[in-house]
Amino acid sequence: MISRNIISPVVEEIALNDEKIVVRQKNNYNFYAGNLILLSNIEKQYGNEPSILSSTFDKYGSKGNIQQYTGQDGLIHSFIWGYADKYPVAEIVGVDYQTAISIVNMNVINSSLPDENLLRIELEKLRQALKDKAIINTYTYSPLVGLTTSTDPSGKISFYEYDQWGRLKVVRDHQGKIVRLFDYQYQSPIQ
43-92 per-position pLDDT tens digit: 999 988 999 999 999 999 999 999 999 999 999 999 999 999 999 999 99
Residue 65 lies in a domain: no
Long-range contacts of 110-118 (CB under 8 A, 24+ apart): 110/81, 110/82, 110/83, 110/84, 110/85, 111/82, 111/83, 111/84, 112/83, 112/84, 112/86, 112/143, 113/83, 113/143, 114/82, 114/83, 116/140, 116/148
- Which residues make beta-bridge pairs with 16? 21
Residue 5 lies in a domain: yes
Together in a domain, 84 and 172 = yes
Q: pTM higher than 0.85 for the full model?
A: yes
Residue 64 lies in a domain: no
Residue 157 lies in a domain: yes
In sequence order, the 6+-apart residues with CB closer than 8 A to the CB of 50 are none
Together in a domain, 140 and 170 = yes
Together in a domain, 88 and 25 = no
pLDDT tens-digit series, residues 105-116: 999 999 988 888
Number of domains in the chain: 2
Query: In which domain, by residue range, is 121 found?
Result: 75-181
Together in a domain, 79 and 46 = no
Together in a domain, 122 and 38 = no
